[in-house]
Structure 1
Amino acid sequence: MLVRHPDKPDWGIGQVQSNIGNKITVNFREAGKMVIDGARIALDPVYDLS
């Protein structure tokens, strides 16, 4: 799944690697691999890349 972080648009689009117990590991194009607390941050899904 592709996502964006609502507070970090400069990170670009990220690909979700795993989601275990509200810990979401995402590999962002501009920021690399990040672990997001899904209980605190609602990532925005990306459906259209155009």
Structure 2
Amino acid sequence: MNALLEPGMVVRHPGMPGWGLGQVQSNIGGRVTVNFEHAGKVVIDSKQITLERVFGH
């Protein structure tokens, strides 16, 4: 799933609901950089965490 994420897509971190919605900034080599509403910019290792895509936010 994370391999399909592209810049501009909106996601949620399943283990950190308090971070709010995040916008994908980049997806390079299994590392997804996301700018979350309440946590700022976070780099996610897609081998460890599967982000949930949010539609119609």
**Length-normalised TM-score, structure 1:** 0.94
Identity across matched positions, percent: 59
Q: Which residue of 2 aligns with 1:32?
A: 40
Question: Where in structure 2 are there 5+ consecutive unaligned residues?
Answer: 1-8
Greater share of residues in helix:
2
Q: Which residue of 1 aligns with 2:51?
A: 43
Structure 1 runs (4+) greater than 2 angstroms displaced:
none
What RMSD, in angstroms, separates the aligned Cα atoms of the two structures? Answer: 0.5
**Length-normalised TM-score, structure 2:** 0.83
Question: Where in structure 1 are there 5+ consecutive unaligned residues?
Answer: none
Q: Number of matched residues?
A: 49
